[in-house]
Amino acid sequence: MATGRLGVGETLGALNTALGPGDPVWFKETRARHLRARDFLAPRPALQARFGDGQVPERVVRAVAGLQGPGVAPVLRCAPTPAGLALQLQRPAVFERVLGAVAAYVAPAAPAAPGPRVLLHCPALRSAPGALRLSQLRAVLVADHLARTLRAHGESVRLVPAVRDPHMPTFLQQLRVDWPAASERAATEALRNRALAELSPAQERGALPRGVLGTVCLKELVQERGRAAGYDPNLDKCLVTEDLLSVLAELQEAARCWPGDSPPSLAAVPDANADRCMVVHVVSCEEEFQQQKVDLLWRKLDDQAPLTQKHLVCGPVKVAGAPGTLTAPEYYELRHAQVCKASAVKHGRDLAQDPAWTEVFSVLSVATIKFEMLSTAPHGQLLLALADSISTKGTKSGTFVMYNCARLATLFEGYRHSMEQGLYPTFPPVSSLDFSLLQDEGEWLLLFNGILPFPDLLSQTAALACTAPGLHTTARTETMCKFLVQLSMDFSSYYNRIHILGAPRPHLFGQMFARLQLLRAVREVLHTGLATLGLPPLDHI
């Protein structure tokens, strides 16, 4: 049997290469009605642009049909159709390759080259929980998800600031946000001396409040970096305070003293470490202007400030039918109360005080919040409908994903219990399973849309546009939530139609075990995806 992980990207790359020079034309099908007849399609208009009359030479069709190579899925047939050139894979062989090596499909695709070290800075975490606005909470959740996906991809990540408010660690733990707690404050003396040398003339400063050193002009630096850099043209002067110097000192220390590195030399050459890491400031839209000042002031006062500083700006959060003053803790308490109420309706009794359900309600509340906050691209405006009830039946929510995670746990617990009773045999070696018995279209949908592309999806969620010019960057933090919702919908549809644990008849065991192995892989994908959101799997709901 062939080995090595199959990849959607590798297959598409080989298909496009087989057509000859030109832009990519092949795409992967995702809709169930199209997957009944084909898995990949080269659309007719694209073929007409490539081959003139749209007739693909027979030698090219034969080359596509015989496609092989590392990571390339085995091809069954390739034929012209009214829609274009349609390709179908050898599905039993793909099932065997993927389900025989599930662990390989719950890890991200290996990067072509190591990425830069990433310093994630979320200034919202310098406040107390009660002062945290919903737009700032969104930035915190985006930063946490981004850190988890980057680390899953093997990147080296540091998080700043270390939270100092005594109540913030408890609140972050409640939200299942993994962020460092306070450490010793970094020394600010060198930065203060440099700032004092850059301050505006004394006659322009006048009497200054306590803790304020003066103002530093940033206009020249903005002009030097150019309008295309993306800085606000209204940036002129920055009020330098002791608190601001503490912020810069913490950033400076985090960028220079990476864990595992030897201590920096006192004779370090300026700019020697400036390109060793990329700083990503994850901010709400309300904080963007101030953060640009911090960015420029750091560059002005520190010759070794990282050359690459990017700003990931999260759009506003609007609340339908509620005042805009709702704080993050109030939002959590509202969703938690709704989760408890929905559970009481479902189970016919109030379980909020039952210790066995405390963790479940906490996870469901956080899942609801994270899927609400992260299912929209970070830069877009987010509208929250707080009056909406919480239900496991809605197909767009975090509770729906957690519900289907619990259904999978119940399924495998049911198999284990029946096996212990002697109704089913022990699970056979995966290499002995007959995956040609997986013929339901829902089974192919789960594998082709859920398991096979998952490594590429993990890599996409960790992709930062760090080489693009300009101040701003984007991140696809919405991708995972949307994927998990769709996978849960596909699983739910399949599970509602197909009775997995059938009658204990030996001639049915082969198909049952093939299906269980498929759903084992679905479970692993779900658990891995939820881990990037800081959510543990649930076994009941």
Helix (H) or strand (E) holding 515: helix 506-531
By DSSP bridging, strand 212-217 and strand 157-160 are unpaired
Q: Where are the domains of the chain?
A: 8-89, 115-201+210-257+274-319
pLDDT in tens, the chain (541 residues): 455 899 999 999 999 999 888 889 999 999 999 999 999 999 999 988 888 776 888 888 999 999 999 999 999 999 999 999 999 999 999 999 999 999 999 988 766 667 789 999 999 999 999 999 999 999 999 999 999 999 988 889 999 999 999 999 999 999 999 999 876 677 777 887 888 887 766 545 556 777 788 888 888 888 887 666 788 888 888 888 889 988 999 999 899 888 766 555 444 444 445 567 899 999 999 999 999 999 999 988 888 888 889 999 999 999 887 666 889 999 999 999 988 888 777 766 666 667 778 889 999 999 999 999 999 999 999 998 887 667 666 666 899 999 999 999 999 999 999 999 999 999 999 999 999 999 999 999 999 999 999 999 998 888 877 767 788 998 898 999 999 999 999 999 999 999 999 888 888 899 999 999 999 999 999 999 999 999 999 987 7
Q: Report d(CA 478, CA 396) in Å as an integer.
A: 13
First CA to last CA distance, the chain: 41
Q: Where are the beta strands (DSSP E) in 381-510?
A: 382-384
Could you give the strand order of the β-sheet that contains 75-81, starting from the edge strand earlier in sequence? 27-28, 40-43, 84-89, 75-81
Topology, domain 115-201+210-257+274-319: Rossmann fold (3.40.50)
What b/e readout covers 473-503, taking b as 16+ CB neighbours within 10 angstroms? bebbbbbbbbbbbbbbebbbebbeeeebeee
- The CA-atom distances, in angstroms, between 80 and each of 43, 62, 76, 296 are 10, 12, 14, 58
> What confidence score (pLDDT) does residue 395 get?
62
> What confidence score (pLDDT) does residue 195 get?
80
8 Å CB contact between 157 and 151 = yes
- Beta-carbon count within 10 A of 333 CB: 12
By DSSP bridging, strand 84-89 and strand 75-81 are antiparallel
> What confidence score (pLDDT) does residue 270 get?
45
Indicate the pTM of the whole model: 0.91
8 Å CB contact between 304 and 276 = no
